[in-house]
Amino acid sequence: MTRWTDLVDAGARATFAAYFAKVDRALAALPRSEAEEIKAELEAHALDAFAASGEATSALSQLGDTDDFLPALVADRLRARAGRTFNPGDIAAALMRSAGAGIAGLATTVAAGLGYAVAVICVALGIVKFFAPHGTGVYRLDAGGIFIGSDANVQGVDLVGMWFSPLAIAVGVCLYVVLTWTFGRATVRKRAPLGCRPMED
Amino acid sequence: MDETVRDWERRWRKSVLPFAALAALRQGPKHGYALATALRDLLGAAAPEGTLYPLLNGFEREGLTIAEWAIQEAGPARKTYALTPKGEAVFDAAVKSWNGFSESLGGLTQ
């Protein structure tokens, strides 16, 4: 028997169907090939456990509630994908999933999110400098202090001039690259419950 | 008091799970169910078997294990994990650390 759909016992087949429907929902955020690979691995495990115990509910209870281990696995895979592609969409998906993987995941998401916000602001200011050279950049204010940003009414001395544009864009891009590289390699674990939780029908 | 000790025991078993998983793989490549079976005997019902999969995923990402799918003559194809040289080196270092820790604790509990 290579699939649970080959199970002769209709009751066992129904129990497996319900469990793997949950698995499908949990893996929906991953690319299809990755989701299919994880699902195939879990199916093989579940079938081995069923062969040993002869009881579908017991076998799937051993494997555990999908809520206890799949969110962390999906978040790890999405982070790894973001770290490979550097695609903003992949990064956003990974950030959202990591936020759901416990307190550590939430903290990672908040920290990375703030970093990405700073990167975007740097690049935006660098571009704005081209269109609004007066009022955007690093200024020593007449009243004292330093201003970094964009304000048409700023009164002070532009310390960097037009160099601000390539510098700000470079800082933003470097920050984006470093953050994505680091975030893509982060491993965040949601604490699994101690002991096995009984299967809920 | 018994409940306190049982709770500690569950936490100890859970915390050594990564080390125990590397130890089991050190004995030879294993797929997920075989690894869970080896660890079940050692660790009892410390955690659902599914929690091994995020752990194994982390090992692969850190370069401690390498995985490959093996088509079986009977039954589904299985993904088998084996330690890499880096994984073996990390495990050997962990064993030294564990032995030192165990010795220190042994001195306190005698």
Contact check, Cβ <8 Å, B77/A1? no
Q: Which amino acid is at A32?
A: R
Contact check, Cβ <8 Å, B31/A63? no
Q: What is the pLDDT of residue A194?
A: 46
Q: What is the pLDDT of residue B12?
A: 84
Q: How far is CA A90 from CA A31, A93, A94, B15, in A?
A: 11, 5, 6, 32
Which residues in chain A come in under a pLDDT of 70? 1, 187-201
Chain B residues whose CB is inside 8 A of the A80 CB are: 61
Q: What ipTM was estimated for this complex?
A: 0.88
Contact check, Cβ <8 Å, B61/A2? no
Find the CB nearest B48 among A41, A43, A65. A65
Q: What is the pLDDT of residue A201?
A: 36
CATH of the domain at B75: 1.10.10.10
User: At how many degrees (to 10) do helices A102-131 and A164-185 cross?
Assistant: 160
Q: What is the pLDDT of residue B110?
A: 75
DSSP A193: P
- The residue with tokens 């199970």 is A7
Q: What is the pLDDT of residue A197?
A: 42
**Would you say the pTM of this structure is higher than 0.90?**
no
Query: How many Cβ atoms are within 10 Å of A172's Cβ, its own excluded?
Result: 21
Query: H-type helices in B1-110, by residue range?
Result: 2-15, 17-26, 32-43, 52-61, 85-109
Distance CA A100, CA A72 (A): 8
Q: What is the pLDDT of residue B20?
A: 93
The total number of structural domains that make up chain B: 1
Which candidate in A39, A48, A66, A70 is best for mutational testing of the B interface (most B CBs within 10 A)? Answer: A48
Tally helices (H) and strands (E) across chain A: 7, 3
- B91-95 long-range contacts (CB < 8 A, ≥24 apart) are B91/B19, B91/B22, B91/B23, B91/B26, B94/B19, B94/B22
* Residue A149 three-state SS: strand
Q: What is the pLDDT of residue A200?
A: 38
Residue B56: give the domain boundaries: 2-109
Query: How many Cβ atoms are within 10 Å of B11's Cβ, its own excluded?
Result: 12
Taking CA atoms, what residue in A is nearest to B8? A194
User: At how many degrees (to 10) do helices A88-99 and A102-131 cross?
Assistant: 150
The residues facing A147 across adjacent strands are A139
Distance CA A62, CA A42 (A): 12
CA atoms within 13 A on the CB side of A97: 29
Contact check, Cβ <8 Å, A2/B75? yes
Contacts of B97 (CB under 8 A, 6+ apart): none
- The residue with tokens 């017991």 is A58
Q: What is the pLDDT of residue B43?
A: 65
Of A117, A153, A129, A154, which Cα lies nearest the Cα of A139? A154
Query: H-type helices in A86-187, by residue range?
Result: 88-99, 102-131, 164-185
Which residues in chain B come in under a pLDDT of 70? 1, 42-46
Sign of CA dihedral A145, A146, A149, A152: positive
DSSP A91: H
Distance CA A41, CA A45 (A): 6
Which candidate in A30, A58, A62 is best for mutational testing of the B interface (most B CBs within 10 A)? Answer: A62
Contact A65, A197 (CB under 8 A): yes
Distance CA B31, CA A12 (A): 23
